[in-house]
Amino acid sequence: MNVTAGHTEVFSDALFSDIARYRHKVFVETLGWDLKTRNGEELDQFDRPDTVYVVSQDDEGQVNGCARLLPTTGPYLLGEVFPELMAGLPIPASPDVWELSRFASVDFNQRSSSALAQFSSEVTMALLKSAAAHAVSLGAKRLITVSPIGVERLLRKTGFHTHRAGPPMIIGGHPIFACWIELA
């Protein structure tokens, strides 16, 4: 397993395309999210030059995990799309708070595993720890994430201190919530 973190220029065009196709397969095909896609790739307005990616690849070079880190000092998913998840509290906007989004660790080469069952896998833990370490290297003390409510229990098993930023809400037919992940 190989985990790489950095801005877009760290990744070859081919690998970045693989990441976008992987996101499509996870979020659109597997989880059924209604996201705008193009040519089987899932990218949105938050995939821009200051976006940091953390990507895991198996020994054959296939993407088996990804995460996106966005500074909350600019536009990001929670602040722009889901501000109501903060329950009236101010939207984070600080150099020491980064958003973790588009986190997935589904190894499509292991057909017996479900998307949620893999959350405790070695790949998932390595990816989450790498994303957290990279965020810390960028000055983060906390991560904020928008997640399906089912991920809350799974996050607790990671060893990170996590807690809700506000109560869960049903959005697009799915229960989701904003979650803090403490890094310092």
Give the rounded percent of residues in the chain with a pLDDT score beyond 90.
73
Report CA Rg, the chain. Answer: 15
Q: What is the pLDDT of residue 152?
A: 84
Does the structure show a pLDDT above 80 at 138? yes
Is the pLDDT confidence value at 145 over 90? yes
pLDDT in the model for residue 120: 47
Q: What are the tens digits of pLDDT across the range 33-91?
A: 888 899 999 999 999 988 999 999 999 999 999 999 999 999 999 999 999 999 999 99
Model confidence over 106-132: pLDDT tens digits? 888 775 455 555 454 788 888 999 999
Look at residue 13 in the predicted model and tell me its pLDDT.
94
Q: Given pLDDT bands bounded at 50, 70 and 90, which one contains residue 155? A: confident
Q: What is the mean pLDDT of the chain?
A: 90
Q: Which domains does the chain have, with CATH numbers?
A: 2-182 (3.40.630.30)
pTM for the model stands at: 0.90
